[in-house]
Amino acid sequence: MTTQYDYDLIVLGGGSGGLAAAFRAAQHGQRVAMLEPGELGGTCVNVGCVPKKAMWLAADLSGRIGLAAAMGFDVPVRPSLDWKELVVHRQAYIANIHASYLKRLDENNVVRVPRRGRLVDAHTVECSDGVRISAAHILIATGAHPQRPDIPGAELGLVSDDFFNLCSAPERVAIVGGGYIAVELAGLLQALGSRVTLLVRGERLLERFDAELTGQLAENLRHQGVQVHFGYRLRELQRDGDAVVALGHDGPADGRFDAVFFATGRRGNSADLGLDAVGVVVGEKGEVEVDEWQTTAVPSVHAVGDIAGKVGLTPVAIAAARKLMDRLFGGQPQAKMDYENVASVVFSHPALGAVGLSEEEACAKHGDVRVYRSNFRPMLQALADGTQRSLFKLVCVGEEERVVGVHLLGEAADEILQGFALAVKMGVTKAQFDDTVAIHPTSAEEVVLMR
């Protein structure tokens, strides 16, 4: 006798991964319910990728106005910004995304339940209003949230979510951390009018990226006016009138700031979901442990996105969700996410993008490694006598010099990388790069001209 459920799929969380799963399952003819008590789109749309990119674009415009002045245009070198007007445009763009999601949910007959849910058993979810619903499969896509460190005065610090509540640029800002969120906030705030100090516990930025490029990035940030301090161990924050004082264990980079942002990691939103009771294993950082098929220790319960603790990128969450739905409902039993050679970009100023292995990773994995690089000033920077430098790098292995890593720091790196990511995925060799005719004059041509 076949067990009857209310739905074929229940999705907990209406972020990028949850939405992608709901849409794909519905396209496969499944009955889908989505539980999301907040705005659709999750971190990416509301307090992540989308509003961040809007602010990055504004910061980029600010820099270009400065370059225009240096080249002879009659514009102010330090243009003023109506921050509130920028926020109006940003939020209008996000509102359009929300409306699009709602329309698509209706078109695909996905039932949206504006409630939080928790698992009662392997097939049943209890909504926060007490109503219980059941499904053959349950997908956890509840995302993650920024963490504050366990230090005295931590409540005086802000997190990345709080950045999007700002109505103006704080005059003096400290950012604690050296990862991608810290680097992005530093560049944004410095370009939009703040004086930024970056307090980094380690000895370099962006430890998951190539060390040579992150070294050049740190130098670029310093040229932009960001104070970068490595080896800083924050001890506590103290209130001093309207300001916040950062005190370290060692002292030299201590300071008084109008705002202090923590960019010290994220934790999965797995609390109070009833996971332990049904046998779903949760890791030290709140992540739901899944196998290569995105399935937990409970066969009917799955997870994608930041909560799954793999690669925390929106396109990865979307791709993993679609593959999972194709496997569960689309007659594709071998469909699963390939986490090798996933391209990613840090929206620093300039952007830093990478796909594949860094030089350090390649040396550890392969014995025969050869590196090609190009360090140059982009044409606009050279014309305006700017100080920003680009650094492009190829990491190759073996006699055939298969390209296993492409690393780009510089103007338009975010746009250039996508095509080269495809090439790396297909196993491109350095000889094939050499045989490709360059597009001149561009920054991108440097990738195929390295010798």
Final residue of a structural domain among 264, 292, 308: 264
CA angle 6, 10, 14 (to 5 degrees): 140
Quickly count: other Cβ atoms within 10 Å of residue 223's Cβ: 12
Domain shared by 355 and 234, yes or no: no
Domain shared by 205 and 286, yes or no: no
Q: How confident is the model over 214-224, as pLDDT tens digits?
A: 999 999 999 99
Domain shared by 241 and 307, yes or no: no
Domain shared by 413 and 424, yes or no: yes
Determine contact, residues 199/174, Cβ cutoff 8 Å.
yes
Domain shared by 295 and 358, yes or no: no
Mean pLDDT of 70-88: 90
For 60, the token pair is 């980029």
**CATH number of residue 116's parent domain:** 3.50.50.60
CA–CA separation, 408 and 97 (whole Å): 30
Torsion, Cα 95 352 148 267, to 10 degrees, reads 70
Could you give the number of structural domains in the chain?
A: 3
The answer to whether the predicted template modeling score (pTM) of the entire model surpasses 0.85 is: yes
Q: How confident is the model over 280-331, as pLDDT tens digits?
A: 999 999 999 999 999 999 999 999 999 999 999 999 999 999 999 999 999 9
Residue 399 in domain: yes
Domain shared by 256 and 278, yes or no: no
Quickly count: other Cβ atoms within 10 Å of residue 251's Cβ: 9
Does residue 349 have an active-site annotation?
no
Closest C-alpha among 62, 95, 108, 89 to residue 224: 62
Q: Which of 249, 366, 407, 440 is catalytic?
A: 440
Determine contact, residues 370/362, Cβ cutoff 8 Å.
no
Mean pLDDT of 36-42: 97
For all residues of the chain together, what is the average pLDDT?
96
Domain shared by 171 and 32, yes or no: no
Phi, psi (deg, nearest 5) at residue 294? 70, 25
Determine contact, residues 317/339, Cβ cutoff 8 Å.
no
Q: How confident is the model over 374-416, as pLDDT tens digits?
A: 999 999 999 999 999 999 999 999 999 999 999 999 999 999 9
Final residue of a structural domain among 295, 329, 363: 329
How many angstroms separate the first and last alpha carbons of the chain? 68
Question: Given this model, what pLDDT does residue 254 score?
Answer: 86
Phi, psi (deg, nearest 5) at residue 397? -135, 155
At residue 2 the predicted structure's pLDDT band, cuts being 50, 70 and 90, is: very low
Question: Given this model, what pLDDT does residue 1 score?
Answer: 32
Domain shared by 422 and 385, yes or no: yes
Residue 344 in domain: no
Domain shared by 214 and 99, yes or no: no
Q: How confident is the model over 130-146, as pLDDT tens digits?
A: 999 999 999 999 999 99
Q: Which residues are within 8 A (CB) of 197 and not within 5 positions of it... i.e. 6 or more apart?
A: 172, 173, 174, 175, 226, 227, 229, 253, 255, 257
Domain shared by 287 and 417, yes or no: no
* Largest Cα span, the chain: 80
Q: How large is the angle between the packed helices 211-223 and 180-191, nearest 10 degrees? A: 20
Full residue range of the structural domain in which residue 358 is found: 350-449
Residue 174 in domain: yes
**CATH number of residue 444's parent domain:** 3.30.390.30
CA–CA separation, 286 and 278 (whole Å): 16
CA–CA separation, 303 and 383 (whole Å): 50
The number of C-alpha atoms within 13 Å of 418 and in the hemisphere containing its C-beta is: 4
Domain shared by 236 and 298, yes or no: no
Distance set, CA 382 to CA 349, 390, 403 (Å): 16, 11, 30
